[in-house]
Amino acid sequence: MNPQKIKDLKKDFKMSWKRKRSISGKNKSYSISNKLKKENKINDGFEIMLNNLSLEEIIGLKLELASKSCGNALYGIPLWRSLRYIVEDAVLKYALSATRTKKEYARFLGLRRIEAQKLSWKYNPDSYFENE
């Protein structure tokens, strides 16, 4: 191989790393943080404080605040049975905000596309981001 051909191959190799894949889908612009900031529900200071808490502390605090607003009693609410659905809904919303396409969304969750589609029909996480 002549030296010029080697230079060209090296140049092509370097350039291939610089090329970015332009994959964009419906959920490319989804962001839970941006949505809540636009609604003035959170700010940067709140995000910093929230980041210092564990997930268990956040859930416990949210439940405590909810019970205070209704007289320290959450009786009659099937909380334990509802946990699975609450967590699944939250994970689906995060997965949508962390990925750019539905295919990537399914891959991120470790599901086949049809399984992810069924969960999307059940929980409808897209509706959370529609007014964004």
The domain ranges of the chain are 30-77, 78-126
Q: Which of 71, 38, 36, 39 is nearest to 50 (CA)?
A: 36
Per-residue pLDDT for 20 more than 60?
no
- 16-27: b or e for each residue (b if 16 or more CB lie within 10 Å)? eeeeeeeeeeeb
d(CA 35, CA 40): 9
Tens of pLDDT along 46-72?
999 999 999 999 999 998 888 888 777
pLDDT of residue 66: 85
Tell me the pLDDT band of 132, cut-offs 50, 70 and 90: low
Which tokens belong to 36?
């809540």
pTM exceeds 0.85 for this model: no
Tell me the pLDDT band of 44, cut-offs 50, 70 and 90: very high
Mean pLDDT of the chain: 84
